[in-house]
Chain A
Amino acid sequence: GQNIDQPTEMTATEGAIVQINCTYQTSGFNGLFWYQQHAGEAPTFLSYNVLDGLEEKGRFSSFLSRSKGYSYLLLKELQMKDSASYLCAVLDSNYQLIWGAGTKLIIKP
Protein backbone atom coordinates (compact mmCIF):
# COMPACT_ATOMS: atom_id res chain seq x y z
CA GLY A 1 0.00 0.00 0.00
CA GLN A 2 0.88 3.64 -0.11
CA ASN A 3 2.06 5.29 3.05
CA ILE A 4 3.35 8.65 4.17
CA ASP A 5 4.66 9.16 7.68
CA GLN A 6 5.32 12.39 9.48
CA PRO A 7 5.33 13.26 13.19
CA THR A 8 1.97 14.14 14.65
CA GLU A 9 3.11 17.18 16.60
CA MET A 10 6.24 19.22 17.21
CA THR A 11 7.02 22.15 19.47
CA ALA A 12 9.63 24.81 18.85
CA THR A 13 10.63 28.21 20.17
CA GLU A 14 10.16 31.52 18.39
CA GLY A 15 13.34 32.46 16.52
CA ALA A 16 14.65 28.90 16.43
CA ILE A 17 14.92 26.33 13.63
CA VAL A 18 12.73 23.25 13.23
CA GLN A 19 12.92 20.31 10.83
CA ILE A 20 9.81 18.32 9.98
CA ASN A 21 10.52 14.92 8.48
CA CYS A 22 8.45 12.93 6.02
CA THR A 23 9.03 9.38 4.79
CA TYR A 24 7.02 7.83 2.02
CA GLN A 25 6.30 4.57 0.26
CA THR A 26 4.22 5.09 -2.85
CA SER A 27 3.52 3.44 -6.19
CA GLY A 28 5.66 5.66 -8.33
CA PHE A 29 6.91 9.14 -7.66
CA ASN A 30 6.28 12.36 -9.54
CA GLY A 31 7.25 14.82 -6.89
CA LEU A 32 6.73 15.72 -3.25
CA PHE A 33 4.85 18.73 -1.96
CA TRP A 34 4.80 20.52 1.35
CA TYR A 35 1.70 22.50 2.28
CA GLN A 36 0.94 24.71 5.26
CA GLN A 37 -2.54 24.65 6.75
CA HIS A 38 -3.77 26.98 9.46
CA ALA A 39 -6.72 25.80 11.52
CA GLY A 40 -10.00 26.20 9.67
CA GLU A 41 -8.31 27.15 6.42
CA ALA A 42 -7.37 25.35 3.22
CA PRO A 43 -3.77 24.25 2.60
CA THR A 44 -1.38 26.66 0.94
CA PHE A 45 1.55 25.59 -1.19
CA LEU A 46 5.03 25.83 0.29
CA SER A 47 7.38 23.78 -1.84
CA TYR A 48 7.83 21.11 -4.47
CA ASN A 49 10.75 18.69 -4.91
CA VAL A 50 11.15 16.18 -7.69
CA LEU A 51 14.95 15.91 -7.81
CA ASP A 52 17.26 15.07 -4.94
CA GLY A 53 18.61 17.97 -3.00
CA LEU A 54 17.67 21.09 -1.16
CA GLU A 55 15.28 23.77 -2.39
CA GLU A 56 15.50 27.02 -0.49
CA LYS A 57 12.78 29.64 -0.45
CA GLY A 58 13.24 32.37 2.10
CA ARG A 59 12.89 31.04 5.63
CA PHE A 60 11.64 27.70 4.36
CA SER A 61 13.72 24.95 2.73
CA SER A 62 12.74 21.50 1.57
CA PHE A 63 15.00 18.51 1.02
CA LEU A 64 14.41 15.31 -0.91
CA SER A 65 16.19 11.96 -1.12
CA ARG A 66 14.35 9.71 -3.54
CA SER A 67 16.53 6.68 -2.82
CA LYS A 68 15.63 6.91 0.86
CA GLY A 69 12.00 7.90 0.34
CA TYR A 70 12.63 10.85 2.61
CA SER A 71 12.01 14.55 2.73
CA TYR A 72 12.19 17.28 5.31
CA LEU A 73 10.88 20.80 5.62
CA LEU A 74 13.19 23.20 7.43
CA LEU A 75 11.80 26.35 8.94
CA LYS A 76 14.24 29.02 10.12
CA GLU A 77 13.76 32.11 12.29
CA LEU A 78 10.45 30.77 13.49
CA GLN A 79 7.64 33.24 13.97
CA MET A 80 4.43 32.81 15.94
CA LYS A 81 2.47 32.87 12.68
CA ASP A 82 4.28 29.68 11.63
CA SER A 83 2.12 27.77 14.10
CA ALA A 84 0.13 25.54 11.76
CA SER A 85 -0.10 22.03 10.40
CA TYR A 86 2.42 21.06 7.75
CA LEU A 87 1.30 18.48 5.23
CA CYS A 88 3.60 16.28 3.18
CA ALA A 89 2.09 14.93 -0.04
CA VAL A 90 3.51 12.74 -2.81
CA LEU A 91 2.36 12.66 -6.41
CA ASP A 92 2.21 9.00 -7.35
CA SER A 93 2.50 7.30 -10.74
CA ASN A 94 -1.13 8.17 -11.54
CA TYR A 95 -0.51 11.82 -10.65
CA GLN A 96 -2.68 11.35 -7.59
CA LEU A 97 -1.67 13.23 -4.46
CA ILE A 98 -1.13 10.94 -1.50
CA TRP A 99 -1.34 12.91 1.75
CA GLY A 100 0.39 12.49 5.05
CA ALA A 101 -1.63 13.08 8.21
CA GLY A 102 0.14 16.37 8.84
CA THR A 103 2.44 17.66 11.56
CA LYS A 104 1.03 20.19 13.97
CA LEU A 105 3.74 22.71 14.77
CA ILE A 106 3.40 24.67 17.99
CA ILE A 107 5.57 27.77 18.39
CA LYS A 108 6.22 29.03 21.89
CA PRO A 109 7.49 32.51 22.75
Chain B
Amino acid sequence: GAVVSQHPSRVICKSGTSVKIECRSLDFQATTMFWYRQFPKQSLMLMATSNEGSKATYEQGVEKDKFLINHASLTLSTLTVTSAHPEDSSFYICSARDLAGSSGYNEQFFGPGTRLTVL
Protein backbone atom coordinates (compact mmCIF):
# COMPACT_ATOMS: atom_id res chain seq x y z
CA GLY B 1 0.00 0.00 0.00
CA ALA B 2 0.86 3.67 -0.20
CA VAL B 3 3.24 5.03 2.43
CA VAL B 4 2.99 8.30 4.29
CA SER B 5 5.79 9.50 6.50
CA GLN B 6 5.64 12.09 9.23
CA HIS B 7 8.46 13.93 10.94
CA PRO B 8 9.25 14.32 13.73
CA SER B 9 7.63 11.40 15.51
CA ARG B 10 7.97 13.06 18.87
CA VAL B 11 8.74 16.62 19.93
CA ILE B 12 8.96 18.39 23.25
CA CYS B 13 9.08 22.16 23.23
CA LYS B 14 8.75 25.12 25.52
CA SER B 15 5.60 27.17 25.70
CA GLY B 16 5.64 30.02 23.18
CA THR B 17 7.79 28.32 20.58
CA SER B 18 6.70 27.13 17.15
CA VAL B 19 6.83 23.57 15.94
CA LYS B 20 6.75 22.36 12.34
CA ILE B 21 5.50 18.89 11.43
CA GLU B 22 6.11 17.45 7.98
CA CYS B 23 3.91 14.96 6.17
CA ARG B 24 5.17 13.26 3.03
CA SER B 25 3.58 10.81 0.62
CA LEU B 26 6.49 8.60 -0.35
CA ASP B 27 5.29 6.62 -3.33
CA PHE B 28 2.27 8.48 -4.63
CA GLN B 29 1.07 11.98 -5.35
CA ALA B 30 -1.41 13.39 -2.90
CA THR B 31 -3.47 16.31 -4.11
CA THR B 32 -5.26 16.30 -0.78
CA MET B 33 -3.79 15.84 2.67
CA PHE B 34 -5.60 15.92 5.98
CA TRP B 35 -4.42 16.98 9.42
CA TYR B 36 -5.95 15.41 12.49
CA ARG B 37 -5.50 15.86 16.19
CA GLN B 38 -6.22 13.20 18.75
CA PHE B 39 -6.37 13.71 22.49
CA PRO B 40 -5.99 10.71 24.81
CA LYS B 41 -8.88 8.26 24.69
CA GLN B 42 -10.68 10.34 22.08
CA SER B 43 -11.29 9.84 18.40
CA LEU B 44 -9.59 11.61 15.56
CA MET B 45 -10.59 15.24 15.09
CA LEU B 46 -10.11 16.68 11.64
CA MET B 47 -8.33 20.02 11.86
CA ALA B 48 -7.97 20.95 8.23
CA THR B 49 -7.95 19.73 4.66
CA SER B 50 -4.96 20.72 2.62
CA ASN B 51 -5.02 20.91 -1.16
CA GLU B 52 -1.84 21.28 -3.15
CA GLY B 53 -1.32 24.82 -4.34
CA SER B 54 -4.25 26.35 -2.51
CA LYS B 55 -5.20 27.49 0.96
CA ALA B 56 -6.18 24.91 3.50
CA THR B 57 -9.77 24.52 4.61
CA TYR B 58 -10.02 24.61 8.38
CA GLU B 59 -12.68 22.95 10.48
CA GLN B 60 -14.83 25.05 12.76
CA GLY B 61 -13.03 26.00 15.93
CA VAL B 62 -9.52 25.52 14.53
CA GLU B 63 -7.50 28.73 14.44
CA LYS B 64 -5.88 29.09 11.04
CA ASP B 65 -3.37 31.63 12.32
CA LYS B 66 -2.23 29.26 15.02
CA PHE B 67 -2.08 26.11 12.90
CA LEU B 68 -0.39 27.11 9.68
CA ILE B 69 -0.66 24.61 6.85
CA ASN B 70 1.39 24.65 3.69
CA HIS B 71 0.89 22.13 0.90
CA ALA B 72 3.59 23.27 -1.48
CA SER B 73 3.96 20.11 -3.51
CA LEU B 74 2.08 16.94 -4.37
CA THR B 75 4.12 14.99 -1.83
CA LEU B 76 4.60 17.39 1.08
CA SER B 77 2.35 19.20 3.51
CA THR B 78 3.51 20.93 6.67
CA LEU B 79 1.67 21.91 9.83
CA THR B 80 3.22 24.60 11.99
CA VAL B 81 1.90 25.04 15.50
CA THR B 82 2.72 28.65 16.30
CA SER B 83 3.25 29.94 19.83
CA ALA B 84 2.52 26.53 21.25
CA HIS B 85 0.91 26.21 24.66
CA PRO B 86 0.50 23.18 26.94
CA GLU B 87 -3.10 22.73 25.77
CA ASP B 88 -1.74 22.13 22.26
CA SER B 89 -0.07 18.96 23.52
CA SER B 90 -1.62 16.18 21.49
CA PHE B 91 -1.07 13.47 18.91
CA TYR B 92 -1.07 15.03 15.44
CA ILE B 93 -1.69 12.72 12.50
CA CYS B 94 -1.65 13.47 8.81
CA SER B 95 -3.21 11.44 6.05
CA ALA B 96 -3.08 11.61 2.29
CA ARG B 97 -5.52 10.57 -0.33
CA ASP B 98 -4.27 8.81 -3.42
CA LEU B 99 -6.90 9.55 -6.03
CA ALA B 100 -4.97 7.78 -8.71
CA GLY B 101 -4.30 4.73 -6.59
CA SER B 102 -5.20 1.19 -7.45
CA SER B 103 -7.56 0.95 -4.49
CA GLY B 104 -9.97 3.18 -6.34
CA TYR B 105 -11.99 4.10 -3.30
CA ASN B 106 -10.55 7.30 -1.88
CA GLU B 107 -8.73 5.53 0.89
CA GLN B 108 -6.77 7.77 3.20
CA PHE B 109 -3.29 6.60 4.13
CA PHE B 110 -2.10 7.73 7.51
CA GLY B 111 1.28 8.88 8.66
CA PRO B 112 2.64 7.41 11.92
CA GLY B 113 1.73 10.53 13.89
CA THR B 114 3.64 13.15 15.87
CA ARG B 115 3.43 13.31 19.63
CA LEU B 116 3.71 16.97 20.67
CA THR B 117 4.37 17.87 24.29
CA VAL B 118 4.46 21.55 25.20
CA LEU B 119 6.01 22.30 28.57
How many whole Å from A77's CB to the nearest CB in chain B? 24
A87 part of interface (Cβ distance < 8 Å): yes
User: A50 — which chain B residues lie within 8 A by C-beta?
Assistant: 105
- A44 closest partner in B (C-beta): B110
User: B49 — which chain A residues lie within 8 A by C-beta?
Assistant: 96
A91 touches B44 (CB 8 A): no
Given known pairs A31-B105, A48-B105, the reply for A42 and B111 (CB within 8 Å) is yes
Please count how many residues in chain A sit with their CB below 8 Å of the partner chain's CB atoms. 20
Interface of A is mostly: loop
User: A91 — which chain B residues lie within 8 A by C-beta?
Assistant: 106
- A104 closest partner in B (C-beta): B41
B110 touches A42 (CB 8 A): yes
Contact of B93 among A42, A45, A96, A102 (CB under 8 A): A42
A40 touches B43 (CB 8 A): no
User: A69 — which chain B residues lie within 8 A by C-beta?
Assistant: none
Given known pairs A42-B93, A45-B1, A97-B108, the reply for A87 and B113 (CB within 8 Å) is no
B115 touches A97 (CB 8 A): no
Contact of B44 among A41, A43, A95 (CB under 8 A): A43
Query: Complex formed: what's the CA distance from A41 to B44 in Å?
Result: 12
B44 touches A40 (CB 8 A): no
User: A43 — which chain B residues lie within 8 A by C-beta?
Assistant: 44, 93, 110
**10 A–B pairs (Cβ distance < 8 Å), ordered by A:** A31-B105, A42-B113, A50-B105, A91-B106, A96-B46, A96-B49, A97-B46, A101-B42, A101-B43, A102-B43
Residues of A that sit less than 8 Å from B by CB: 30-31, 33, 40-45, 48, 50, 87, 91, 95-97, 99-102
